[in-house]
Structure 1
Amino acid sequence: MQAVFWITVGAMCLATGFSMPRKPQRCQAPPLYTGRLTMGTQNEQLWDVAKYYYDALNQRLYVEEVGTFNNASFTYNALRLYQEGLMYEIYHHNKTCLKKALQSDFQPMEVPKGAVFVKQVVLGTSSSPGQGLLVNSWLGDMPDRQDNMVSLTEFGCLPVSAFFKYKNMGWVSLSYYDNVLGVEDPNVFIPPPFCLDAKMEATEDGKVTDFFSLFH
Protein backbone atom coordinates (compact mmCIF):
# COMPACT_ATOMS: atom_id res chain seq x y z
CA MET A 1 0.00 0.00 0.00
CA GLN A 2 2.83 2.41 0.86
CA ALA A 3 4.53 1.61 -2.46
CA VAL A 4 1.34 2.49 -4.33
CA PHE A 5 1.07 5.74 -2.36
CA TRP A 6 4.62 6.92 -3.22
CA ILE A 7 4.25 5.91 -6.87
CA THR A 8 1.06 7.99 -7.00
CA VAL A 9 2.77 10.99 -5.38
CA GLY A 10 5.69 10.71 -7.79
CA ALA A 11 3.35 10.63 -10.76
CA MET A 12 1.52 13.70 -9.49
CA CYS A 13 4.82 15.58 -9.03
CA LEU A 14 5.88 14.80 -12.59
CA ALA A 15 2.49 15.76 -13.95
CA THR A 16 2.48 19.15 -12.21
CA GLY A 17 6.13 19.95 -12.95
CA PHE A 18 6.98 19.92 -9.25
CA SER A 19 10.65 19.94 -8.34
CA MET A 20 12.51 20.20 -5.09
CA PRO A 21 13.78 23.71 -4.27
CA ARG A 22 17.39 24.23 -5.29
CA LYS A 23 19.96 26.72 -4.15
CA PRO A 24 20.17 29.70 -6.54
CA GLN A 25 23.19 29.67 -8.82
CA ARG A 26 25.68 32.49 -9.35
CA CYS A 27 24.86 34.53 -12.41
CA GLN A 28 25.92 37.50 -14.51
CA ALA A 29 23.60 40.13 -15.95
CA PRO A 30 22.98 40.26 -19.71
CA PRO A 31 25.94 41.88 -21.51
CA LEU A 32 23.84 44.69 -23.00
CA TYR A 33 21.04 46.50 -21.25
CA THR A 34 19.72 49.93 -20.31
CA GLY A 35 18.28 50.87 -16.94
CA ARG A 36 17.66 53.48 -14.29
CA LEU A 37 18.71 53.74 -10.67
CA THR A 38 18.43 55.86 -7.55
CA MET A 39 21.26 56.23 -5.05
CA GLY A 40 21.59 57.61 -1.55
CA THR A 41 24.48 57.69 0.94
CA GLN A 42 24.70 57.72 4.72
CA ASN A 43 27.29 60.50 4.86
CA GLU A 44 28.15 63.50 2.65
CA GLN A 45 24.49 64.01 1.67
CA LEU A 46 24.70 62.51 -1.82
CA TRP A 47 21.45 61.65 -3.58
CA ASP A 48 21.26 60.73 -7.24
CA VAL A 49 18.90 59.58 -10.00
CA ALA A 50 20.46 58.17 -13.16
CA LYS A 51 19.87 56.47 -16.46
CA TYR A 52 22.68 54.16 -17.51
CA TYR A 53 23.74 52.21 -20.60
CA TYR A 54 25.67 49.03 -19.89
CA ASP A 55 27.94 47.25 -22.37
CA ALA A 56 29.91 44.40 -20.81
CA LEU A 57 31.10 43.11 -24.18
CA ASN A 58 33.23 46.19 -24.81
CA GLN A 59 33.51 47.23 -21.15
CA ARG A 60 31.73 50.54 -21.59
CA LEU A 61 29.32 52.45 -19.36
CA TYR A 62 27.45 55.68 -20.04
CA VAL A 63 25.56 57.42 -17.24
CA GLU A 64 23.23 60.43 -17.19
CA GLU A 65 22.77 61.66 -13.62
CA VAL A 66 20.89 64.35 -11.74
CA GLY A 67 21.21 64.79 -8.00
CA THR A 68 22.35 66.79 -5.01
CA PHE A 69 25.66 66.74 -3.15
CA ASN A 70 25.97 68.61 0.15
CA ASN A 71 22.77 70.52 -0.67
CA ALA A 72 24.04 71.62 -4.10
CA SER A 73 22.37 70.25 -7.23
CA PHE A 74 24.35 68.81 -10.12
CA THR A 75 23.85 67.32 -13.58
CA TYR A 76 26.49 64.83 -14.57
CA ASN A 77 27.02 62.79 -17.74
CA ALA A 78 29.92 60.37 -17.88
CA LEU A 79 31.30 58.00 -20.48
CA ARG A 80 33.64 55.35 -19.09
CA LEU A 81 35.73 53.39 -21.57
CA TYR A 82 37.50 50.82 -19.44
CA GLN A 83 39.48 49.15 -22.23
CA GLU A 84 40.94 52.53 -23.18
CA GLY A 85 41.40 53.66 -19.58
CA LEU A 86 39.47 56.88 -20.22
CA MET A 87 36.54 58.71 -18.72
CA TYR A 88 34.77 61.70 -20.23
CA GLU A 89 32.73 64.14 -18.17
CA ILE A 90 30.29 65.55 -20.71
CA TYR A 91 28.37 68.82 -20.30
CA HIS A 92 25.96 69.23 -23.20
CA HIS A 93 24.52 72.56 -22.00
CA ASN A 94 27.74 74.42 -22.81
CA LYS A 95 29.39 71.78 -25.03
CA THR A 96 32.40 71.21 -22.82
CA CYS A 97 34.16 67.99 -21.93
CA LEU A 98 36.72 66.85 -19.36
CA LYS A 99 38.95 63.87 -20.13
CA LYS A 100 40.43 61.85 -17.26
CA ALA A 101 42.40 58.68 -16.75
CA LEU A 102 40.27 55.76 -15.61
CA GLN A 103 42.53 53.36 -13.76
CA SER A 104 40.14 50.74 -12.49
CA ASP A 105 38.94 47.41 -13.77
CA PHE A 106 35.52 46.97 -15.31
CA GLN A 107 33.18 45.37 -12.79
CA PRO A 108 30.44 43.38 -14.53
CA MET A 109 27.03 43.29 -12.94
CA GLU A 110 27.07 39.86 -11.35
CA VAL A 111 27.08 37.93 -8.11
CA PRO A 112 30.42 38.94 -6.51
CA LYS A 113 33.07 36.25 -6.53
CA GLY A 114 33.19 34.55 -3.16
CA ALA A 115 29.75 35.88 -2.22
CA VAL A 116 27.46 33.72 -0.12
CA PHE A 117 23.79 33.22 -0.79
CA VAL A 118 21.61 35.02 1.78
CA LYS A 119 17.95 34.60 0.89
CA GLN A 120 15.40 34.26 -1.89
CA VAL A 121 12.33 36.46 -1.64
CA VAL A 122 9.33 37.48 -3.69
CA LEU A 123 8.77 41.20 -4.29
CA GLY A 124 5.05 41.71 -4.53
CA THR A 125 3.03 38.53 -4.05
CA SER A 126 3.28 34.90 -5.07
CA SER A 127 -0.45 34.39 -4.59
CA SER A 128 -1.26 35.02 -8.25
CA PRO A 129 0.79 34.55 -11.44
CA GLY A 130 2.53 37.66 -12.72
CA GLN A 131 2.17 39.60 -9.46
CA GLY A 132 5.56 38.83 -7.93
CA LEU A 133 9.25 39.06 -8.76
CA LEU A 134 11.61 36.32 -7.55
CA VAL A 135 14.84 37.85 -6.24
CA ASN A 136 18.07 36.37 -4.86
CA SER A 137 20.28 38.25 -2.38
CA TRP A 138 24.02 37.65 -2.04
CA LEU A 139 26.63 38.99 0.37
CA GLY A 140 30.28 39.43 -0.64
CA ASP A 141 32.93 42.16 -0.70
CA MET A 142 34.05 43.91 -3.89
CA PRO A 143 37.00 46.26 -4.52
CA ASP A 144 36.50 49.29 -2.22
CA ARG A 145 33.12 47.94 -1.11
CA GLN A 146 32.65 46.15 2.19
CA ASP A 147 29.58 44.26 3.40
CA ASN A 148 28.29 44.39 -0.15
CA MET A 149 24.81 42.91 -0.52
CA VAL A 150 23.39 42.68 -4.03
CA SER A 151 19.99 41.43 -5.12
CA LEU A 152 19.31 40.16 -8.64
CA THR A 153 16.32 38.59 -10.30
CA GLU A 154 16.20 34.78 -10.36
CA PHE A 155 15.22 34.85 -14.02
CA GLY A 156 17.41 37.09 -16.18
CA CYS A 157 19.91 38.04 -13.44
CA LEU A 158 19.03 41.74 -13.63
CA PRO A 159 19.94 44.03 -10.72
CA VAL A 160 17.28 45.03 -8.21
CA SER A 161 19.24 46.61 -5.36
CA ALA A 162 22.65 46.94 -3.73
CA PHE A 163 23.68 47.97 -0.23
CA PHE A 164 27.30 48.40 0.85
CA LYS A 165 29.89 50.43 2.75
CA TYR A 166 32.11 52.75 0.73
CA LYS A 167 35.01 54.56 2.40
CA ASN A 168 34.02 57.84 4.07
CA MET A 169 30.55 57.81 2.52
CA GLY A 170 29.37 55.15 4.92
CA TRP A 171 26.45 53.09 3.74
CA VAL A 172 25.39 53.44 0.11
CA SER A 173 22.00 52.28 -1.15
CA LEU A 174 21.21 51.61 -4.83
CA SER A 175 17.83 50.71 -6.31
CA TYR A 176 17.57 49.61 -9.96
CA TYR A 177 14.45 49.74 -12.12
CA ASP A 178 13.13 50.03 -15.70
CA ASN A 179 15.73 47.60 -17.04
CA VAL A 180 15.46 46.99 -20.78
CA LEU A 181 17.51 44.39 -22.64
CA GLY A 182 19.80 45.90 -25.25
CA VAL A 183 21.30 49.38 -25.54
CA GLU A 184 18.70 51.88 -26.68
CA ASP A 185 21.23 54.24 -28.30
CA PRO A 186 24.72 52.80 -29.04
CA ASN A 187 25.90 56.30 -30.03
CA VAL A 188 26.17 57.23 -26.35
CA PHE A 189 29.42 55.27 -26.28
CA ILE A 190 30.99 57.63 -28.83
CA PRO A 191 32.37 60.89 -27.35
CA PRO A 192 30.59 63.90 -28.87
CA PRO A 193 32.58 66.07 -31.33
CA PHE A 194 33.35 68.75 -28.74
CA CYS A 195 35.22 66.11 -26.69
CA LEU A 196 37.71 65.28 -29.43
CA ASP A 197 40.09 68.10 -28.49
CA ALA A 198 39.75 67.63 -24.74
CA LYS A 199 43.08 67.40 -22.93
CA MET A 200 43.78 64.92 -20.16
CA GLU A 201 42.89 66.53 -16.85
CA ALA A 202 45.24 66.18 -13.87
CA THR A 203 43.55 64.89 -10.73
CA GLU A 204 44.76 65.00 -7.14
CA ASP A 205 46.03 61.42 -7.21
CA GLY A 206 46.46 61.18 -10.97
CA LYS A 207 43.48 58.94 -11.56
CA VAL A 208 39.76 58.48 -11.37
CA THR A 209 38.52 55.14 -10.11
CA ASP A 210 34.74 55.40 -10.26
CA PHE A 211 31.76 57.72 -9.82
CA PHE A 212 32.25 58.10 -6.07
CA SER A 213 35.85 59.30 -6.41
CA LEU A 214 34.56 62.51 -7.99
CA PHE A 215 33.14 63.57 -4.62
CA HIS A 216 36.23 63.00 -2.46
Structure 2
Amino acid sequence: MKNLTILWRRMYAAVALSVFMCLTATTNADPHHPCHAPNMTGFMSVMSLKGDTKAFGAFTYDSMGKKLRFRSNESHPANTSMGLDLLMLFNDGIFYEIDSRNQSCEKKSLQCTQHPLDIPDDATFKGVKNTGSPSIKGEGLKTNEWAGSMPDMKGCYSMSVTMGCLPVCTMYFHDTYSFMVSITEVEIQIKDPDLLLVPSYCVAQPLEETPEGTVNSFLNEFM
Protein backbone atom coordinates (compact mmCIF):
# COMPACT_ATOMS: atom_id res chain seq x y z
CA MET A 1 0.00 0.00 0.00
CA LYS A 2 2.85 2.33 0.86
CA ASN A 3 4.52 1.64 -2.49
CA LEU A 4 1.21 2.32 -4.28
CA THR A 5 0.90 5.67 -2.52
CA ILE A 6 4.45 6.65 -3.52
CA LEU A 7 3.74 5.63 -7.14
CA TRP A 8 0.54 7.67 -7.19
CA ARG A 9 2.34 10.74 -5.85
CA ARG A 10 5.02 10.40 -8.51
CA MET A 11 2.41 10.07 -11.25
CA TYR A 12 0.54 13.12 -9.92
CA ALA A 13 3.78 15.13 -9.86
CA ALA A 14 4.58 14.11 -13.43
CA VAL A 15 1.11 15.09 -14.67
CA ALA A 16 1.27 18.41 -12.80
CA LEU A 17 4.69 19.15 -14.34
CA SER A 18 3.39 18.36 -17.83
CA VAL A 19 0.39 20.66 -17.38
CA PHE A 20 2.66 23.41 -16.08
CA MET A 21 4.99 23.08 -19.06
CA CYS A 22 2.08 23.18 -21.52
CA LEU A 23 0.63 26.28 -19.88
CA THR A 24 4.02 27.96 -19.91
CA ALA A 25 4.52 27.17 -23.58
CA THR A 26 1.06 28.54 -24.42
CA THR A 27 1.74 31.71 -22.47
CA ASN A 28 5.12 32.32 -24.09
CA ALA A 29 4.00 31.48 -27.64
CA ASP A 30 3.57 34.42 -30.01
CA PRO A 31 -0.18 34.65 -30.67
CA HIS A 32 0.36 37.10 -33.51
CA HIS A 33 2.52 35.10 -35.88
CA PRO A 34 1.38 35.73 -39.48
CA CYS A 35 -1.20 33.14 -40.54
CA HIS A 36 -1.81 31.83 -44.06
CA ALA A 37 -5.19 32.01 -45.74
CA PRO A 38 -7.00 28.82 -46.84
CA ASN A 39 -8.10 27.96 -50.37
CA MET A 40 -10.54 30.60 -51.54
CA THR A 41 -12.91 31.64 -54.28
CA GLY A 42 -14.41 35.12 -54.28
CA PHE A 43 -14.36 38.61 -55.73
CA MET A 44 -11.63 41.19 -55.64
CA SER A 45 -11.87 44.91 -56.27
CA VAL A 46 -8.91 47.25 -56.71
CA MET A 47 -9.45 50.97 -56.20
CA SER A 48 -7.10 53.90 -56.08
CA LEU A 49 -7.35 55.92 -52.89
CA LYS A 50 -8.66 58.73 -55.09
CA GLY A 51 -11.79 56.62 -55.65
CA ASP A 52 -11.13 55.29 -59.17
CA THR A 53 -11.94 51.64 -59.81
CA LYS A 54 -8.85 50.02 -61.33
CA ALA A 55 -10.23 46.46 -61.58
CA PHE A 56 -13.02 44.22 -60.33
CA GLY A 57 -13.37 40.50 -60.87
CA ALA A 58 -13.39 36.93 -59.65
CA PHE A 59 -10.40 35.15 -58.12
CA THR A 60 -9.46 31.58 -57.28
CA TYR A 61 -6.64 30.95 -54.84
CA ASP A 62 -4.78 27.72 -54.06
CA SER A 63 -3.13 28.30 -50.68
CA MET A 64 -1.02 25.11 -50.67
CA GLY A 65 0.03 25.25 -54.31
CA LYS A 66 0.56 29.04 -54.19
CA LYS A 67 -1.49 29.70 -57.32
CA LEU A 68 -3.81 32.62 -58.03
CA ARG A 69 -6.14 33.29 -60.94
CA PHE A 70 -7.74 36.70 -61.28
CA ARG A 71 -10.14 37.65 -64.07
CA SER A 72 -11.51 41.17 -64.12
CA ASN A 73 -15.11 41.69 -65.13
CA GLU A 74 -15.14 43.93 -68.17
CA SER A 75 -18.88 44.52 -67.75
CA HIS A 76 -18.23 46.37 -64.50
CA PRO A 77 -19.89 49.81 -64.82
CA ALA A 78 -16.68 51.71 -64.03
CA ASN A 79 -15.06 52.84 -67.27
CA THR A 80 -11.63 52.65 -65.66
CA SER A 81 -11.94 48.93 -64.92
CA MET A 82 -8.98 47.04 -66.41
CA GLY A 83 -9.44 43.94 -68.54
CA LEU A 84 -7.09 41.42 -66.90
CA ASP A 85 -6.78 37.64 -66.87
CA LEU A 86 -3.81 36.65 -64.73
CA LEU A 87 -2.53 33.25 -63.65
CA MET A 88 0.15 33.61 -60.98
CA LEU A 89 2.34 30.58 -60.17
CA PHE A 90 4.25 31.89 -57.17
CA ASN A 91 6.24 28.72 -56.44
CA ASP A 92 7.47 28.62 -60.04
CA GLY A 93 8.26 32.33 -60.11
CA ILE A 94 6.27 32.93 -63.30
CA PHE A 95 2.89 34.27 -64.36
CA TYR A 96 0.73 34.39 -67.45
CA GLU A 97 -1.25 37.27 -68.92
CA ILE A 98 -4.02 35.39 -70.72
CA ASP A 99 -6.22 36.43 -73.63
CA SER A 100 -8.75 33.61 -73.85
CA ARG A 101 -10.72 35.32 -76.64
CA ASN A 102 -7.72 35.22 -78.98
CA GLN A 103 -6.23 32.13 -77.29
CA SER A 104 -2.91 33.81 -76.66
CA CYS A 105 -0.81 34.68 -73.64
CA GLU A 106 2.37 36.26 -72.38
CA LYS A 107 4.65 34.33 -69.99
CA LYS A 108 6.73 36.44 -67.61
CA SER A 109 8.99 35.98 -64.61
CA LEU A 110 8.02 37.16 -61.11
CA GLN A 111 10.47 39.38 -59.24
CA CYS A 112 8.07 39.87 -56.29
CA THR A 113 5.60 37.23 -55.07
CA GLN A 114 3.65 39.41 -52.64
CA HIS A 115 -0.12 39.55 -53.13
CA PRO A 116 -3.18 40.64 -51.10
CA LEU A 117 -4.43 37.15 -50.20
CA ASP A 118 -1.64 36.16 -47.81
CA ILE A 119 0.18 37.84 -44.93
CA PRO A 120 3.94 38.09 -45.57
CA ASP A 121 6.03 36.13 -43.06
CA ASP A 122 7.87 39.31 -42.03
CA ALA A 123 4.68 41.34 -41.42
CA THR A 124 4.37 43.24 -38.14
CA PHE A 125 1.26 42.84 -35.99
CA LYS A 126 -0.28 46.24 -35.23
CA GLY A 127 -3.32 45.34 -33.14
CA VAL A 128 -6.95 44.25 -33.23
CA LYS A 129 -9.66 46.43 -34.78
CA ASN A 130 -13.41 46.20 -34.27
CA THR A 131 -15.43 47.42 -37.24
CA GLY A 132 -19.05 48.26 -36.47
CA SER A 133 -20.36 47.41 -33.00
CA PRO A 134 -18.65 44.56 -31.12
CA SER A 135 -21.37 44.64 -28.45
CA ILE A 136 -24.25 43.86 -30.84
CA LYS A 137 -24.41 40.35 -32.27
CA GLY A 138 -23.96 40.32 -36.02
CA GLU A 139 -23.10 44.02 -36.18
CA GLY A 140 -19.34 43.93 -35.82
CA LEU A 141 -16.23 42.44 -37.36
CA LYS A 142 -13.00 41.88 -35.45
CA THR A 143 -9.83 41.90 -37.53
CA ASN A 144 -6.11 41.63 -36.98
CA GLU A 145 -4.10 44.47 -38.46
CA TRP A 146 -0.73 43.79 -40.11
CA ALA A 147 1.75 46.11 -41.79
CA GLY A 148 5.14 46.02 -43.43
CA SER A 149 7.44 47.44 -46.08
CA MET A 150 7.95 46.36 -49.69
CA PRO A 151 11.62 47.02 -50.54
CA ASP A 152 11.27 45.65 -54.08
CA MET A 153 8.47 48.10 -54.79
CA LYS A 154 9.71 50.97 -52.58
CA GLY A 155 6.47 51.14 -50.62
CA CYS A 156 4.53 49.80 -47.66
CA TYR A 157 1.23 48.06 -46.95
CA SER A 158 -1.45 47.64 -44.28
CA MET A 159 -3.68 44.53 -44.11
CA SER A 160 -6.93 43.72 -42.30
CA VAL A 161 -7.50 39.99 -41.76
CA THR A 162 -10.30 38.16 -39.93
CA MET A 163 -9.61 35.93 -36.92
CA GLY A 164 -9.93 32.97 -39.30
CA CYS A 165 -7.22 34.46 -41.57
CA LEU A 166 -9.53 35.59 -44.36
CA PRO A 167 -8.26 38.84 -45.93
CA VAL A 168 -10.71 41.75 -45.86
CA CYS A 169 -8.76 44.62 -47.38
CA THR A 170 -5.17 45.68 -48.00
CA MET A 171 -3.86 49.16 -48.69
CA TYR A 172 -0.63 49.77 -50.58
CA PHE A 173 1.27 53.06 -50.43
CA HIS A 174 3.98 54.44 -52.67
CA ASP A 175 5.39 57.89 -53.36
CA THR A 176 3.52 58.18 -56.64
CA TYR A 177 0.48 55.92 -56.18
CA SER A 178 -1.69 54.21 -53.60
CA PHE A 179 -4.57 51.77 -53.90
CA MET A 180 -6.79 49.43 -51.88
CA VAL A 181 -7.68 45.79 -52.55
CA SER A 182 -10.98 44.54 -51.08
CA ILE A 183 -12.06 40.90 -50.88
CA THR A 184 -15.77 39.96 -50.82
CA GLU A 185 -18.13 36.96 -51.15
CA VAL A 186 -15.40 34.54 -50.08
CA GLU A 187 -15.96 30.77 -50.11
CA ILE A 188 -13.33 28.53 -48.54
CA GLN A 189 -12.92 26.21 -51.50
CA ILE A 190 -11.59 26.00 -55.03
CA LYS A 191 -14.81 25.86 -57.05
CA ASP A 192 -13.15 25.36 -60.45
CA PRO A 193 -9.65 23.77 -60.25
CA ASP A 194 -9.24 24.06 -64.04
CA LEU A 195 -8.84 27.81 -63.65
CA LEU A 196 -5.48 27.17 -61.98
CA LEU A 197 -4.14 25.13 -64.89
CA VAL A 198 -2.03 26.71 -67.61
CA PRO A 199 -4.18 26.85 -70.78
CA SER A 200 -3.02 24.49 -73.52
CA TYR A 201 -2.22 27.38 -75.88
CA CYS A 202 0.12 28.85 -73.24
CA VAL A 203 2.10 25.73 -72.33
CA ALA A 204 4.78 26.14 -75.02
CA GLN A 205 4.93 29.91 -74.66
CA PRO A 206 8.56 31.09 -74.18
CA LEU A 207 9.49 33.20 -71.17
CA GLU A 208 9.75 36.86 -72.04
CA GLU A 209 12.84 38.82 -71.09
CA THR A 210 12.36 41.24 -68.22
CA PRO A 211 13.71 44.74 -68.92
CA GLU A 212 16.36 45.88 -66.47
CA GLY A 213 14.83 47.68 -63.51
CA THR A 214 11.37 46.13 -64.02
CA VAL A 215 9.71 44.40 -61.05
CA ASN A 216 6.97 42.02 -62.18
CA SER A 217 4.37 41.14 -59.56
CA PHE A 218 0.64 40.74 -59.11
CA LEU A 219 0.51 44.19 -57.54
CA ASN A 220 2.40 45.86 -60.36
CA GLU A 221 -0.44 44.98 -62.73
CA PHE A 222 -2.50 47.69 -61.05
CA MET A 223 0.12 50.43 -60.86
After TM superposition, the score normalised by the length of structure 2 is 0.70
Identity %: 26
1:92-171 counterparts in 2 under 5 A? 92-105=100-113, 109-110=118-119, 113-121=122-130, 123-143=131-151, 144=153, 146-154=155-163, 156-166=164-174, 168=176, 170-171=177-178
SS in 1 for 2:195: helix
Q: Which moved more, 1:75-84 or 1:158-167?
A: 158-167
- The farther-off stretch of 200-209 and 132-141 is 200-209
Q: How does 1:39-78 map to 2 (within 5 A)?
A: 39-42=46-49, 47-66=54-73, 74-78=82-86
Which one has a larger percent strand, Structure 1 or Structure 2? 1
Q: Please, which moves more after superposition, 95-104 or 178-187?
A: 95-104
Which secondary structure state, in structure 1, belongs to the residue aligned with residue 57 of structure 2?
strand
CA gap of 1:36–1:188, structure 2 versus 1, over 3 A, is same
The answer to whether residue 199 in structure 2 is matched with residue 192 in structure 1 is yes
Tell me, which stretches of 5 or more residues in structure 2 are unaligned? 1-29
Distance 1:61 1:199 in 2: 20
Does the Cα contact within 8 Å between 2:155 and 2:172 map onto a contact in 1? yes
Please identify the structure whose Cα radius of gyration is greater.
Answer: 2
Count of matched residue positions in the alignment of Structure 1 and Structure 2: 188
Shift of 1:106: 5.5
**1:26 offset after TM fit, Å?**
3.4
Determine the structure 2 residue equivalent to 1:12.
none
Q: C-alpha distance in 1, partners of 2:219/2:120?
A: 21
More helix by share: 2
Partner Cα separation in structure 2 for residue 54 and residue 214 of structure 1: 17
Distance 2:213 2:94 in 1: 12
CA distance in 1, matches of 2:211, 2:101: 26
Unaligned runs of 5+ in 1: 1-22
Root-mean-square deviation (Å) = 3.0
Structure 1 residues 195 and 147, CA, compared in 2 at 3 Å: closer, same or farther? closer
